[in-house]
Structure 1
Amino acid sequence: MPSFRKWLLAGLLVLAPLIITLWVLEWVVSTLDQTLQILPAQWHPDQLFGVHIPGLGVIFALLVVLFIGALASNFVGNRLVTWWHALLHRIPVVRSIYSGVKQVSDTLFSEKGNAFRKAMLVEWPHEGMWTICFLTGSPAGDVLNHLKAQPGGAGADDEFLSVYVPTTPNPTGGYFIMVRRSACQELAMSVDEALTYIVSMGVIVPGHSKKPPLKTLGTPAPTPSA
């Protein structure tokens, strides 16, 4: 029985990642293959070749994305995209959804975008418990005015930061919070390393790098006396 259990676990450790990877790839390929349905029936690969070839939808979707990207990069295409955005912003309901999605996509996919700027440590959800978060920016406007008006608001030597606290093992869900700069610590790891650490639920610890040790963004806490 001990050997049986050992072999079973060893087999699961080998097969589980492979099966999940193949399942995800199969779902992606089958989903993108549906993009071929926009072609006329006589141009459909199944009609031309007489057999279904998996993966042609992936190539077709990539070509469509590249074509739209090339079109949007020139002057005429840019004018068309601007006109399209203005049109969608005039449609009720659609305007609200499209505007929010557009802002997020611009932040995530733009070459100048920097959605997650730094990996940091923050006490969450209460004092004494720490978790990894990502710096996304700084609050401003009326939000910042209300934060400074709160008891113990940021003073001249402190400020508030906007951070994203992801969940594990799915970092696409999480919490957006605003904390004082002095309450955060910058980590000597890249954003990719921090994401790997989160997705693995702490199993995969980022290797030691030549970066400097943890850097406290605010005033370090006093060392308790002996």
Structure 2
Amino acid sequence: MSSKTDPPNPEPAGLPPPDAVATHGQRGISARARIRNYFLTGLIVAGPLALTIYITWWIVGLVDAWVKPLVPAAYWPDTYLPVSIPGFGLIVAFVGLTLLGFLTANLVGRSLVEAGETLLERMPVVSGLYRGIKQIFETAFSPSGTTFRRVGLVQFPTPGTWSIVFIAAAPPRDMAEALPPVGEYVGVFLPCTPNPTTGFFFYLPRRDVLDVPVSVDDAAKLVMSAGLIQPEDQQKRLQALAAQAREPA
């Protein structure tokens, strides 16, 4: 029999104390967490940079492939250098388009453009396609064009559900006269997530569209990220406007 004054049995040989095991486990978890955080930080830094470089390189290569067959081989640096120089086609395209715009601004250039447009207008299928594409380009790139400059909220797809829209121009006169007489109408484009270049375009009464103090770029980011990237200091305003709209008149 053992005496009451006998010391407690020591830990089995070869096993560390419990507190040492806990400390080692915490250190292992902490090291794994640090490695994970470092990896995610590096991914956040390198991911957008790599994608930007890839897309830029792809665009430069695409323009070079379009322009290169139009320029004689004697003018390409690739003919005299052992390596290919990307971007030369982009420079040629920029200079060519600038020169075309300069020539079009004078009387001779305008006459040539009008003659070409007259020829296209006489083609049954090409005429409609050319007019539509030309109008899109004039609207998108003209300084005075009616591009998307404002962002709004509409109840879609059901009442009480608010969706982001880009506010466009009012309907043409003939179309506005055909709409029910409920006041001023406005065209809105409702983009889809995550591709804001697709969506729905429709005319709504101006009173049914809530203007929000958000830029078009921030709204596009919000749509593309499915709400993950939100404009700074704007989310509370959106919630306040939506709450105000839900209040009974």
TM-score, normalising length: structure 2: 0.74
Distance 2:150 2:45 in 1: 34
Write the deviation string for residues 147-192 of structure 1: whole angstroms up to 9, x where unpaired: 31xxxxx43xx22221111123322212101111111111123333
Question: What amino acid does structure 1 have at the position aligned with 2:46?
Answer: L
Higher helix proportion, which one?
2
The match for 1:112 among 144, 147, 153 is 144
The match for 1:24 among 39, 42, 55 is 55
Displacement after TM superposition at 1:67 (Å): 0.9
Equivalent runs, 1:165-180 vs 2, <5 Å: 165-180=190-205
- 2:61–2:86 CA contact under 8 A, matched in 1: yes
Residue in 2 aligned with 1:122?
154
- 1:37–1:44 CA contact under 8 A, matched in 2: no
Displacement after TM superposition at 1:145 (Å): 4.0
Displacement after TM superposition at 1:119 (Å): 1.2
Larger Rg belongs to: 2
Distance 2:245 2:84 in 1: 65
Residue in 2 aligned with 1:33?
64
Structure 2 CA distance for partners of 1:15 and 1:50, relative to 1, 3 Å: closer
Displacement after TM superposition at 1:64 (Å): 1.1
Aligned residue for 1:64, secondary structure, equals: helix
TM-score, normalising length: structure 1: 0.81
Question: Is 2:208 the partner of 1:183?
Answer: yes
- Runs of 4 or more above 6 Å deviation: none
List alignment gaps of at least 5 residues for structure 1. 149-153, 215-219
Between the two proteins, the alignment pairs up a number of residues equal to: 210
Residue in 1 aligned with 2:128?
96
Question: What amino acid does structure 2 have at the position aligned with 1:203?
Answer: L
Q: Percentage identity across aligned positions?
A: 37
Structure 2 CA distance for partners of 1:20 and 1:145, relative to 1, 3 Å: same
List alignment gaps of at least 5 residues for structure 2. 1-28, 239-243
Which 10-residue stretch deviates more, 47-56 or 104-113?
47-56
- 2:149–2:215 CA contact under 8 A, matched in 1: no
Equivalent runs, 1:48-59 vs 2, <5 Å: 48-59=80-91
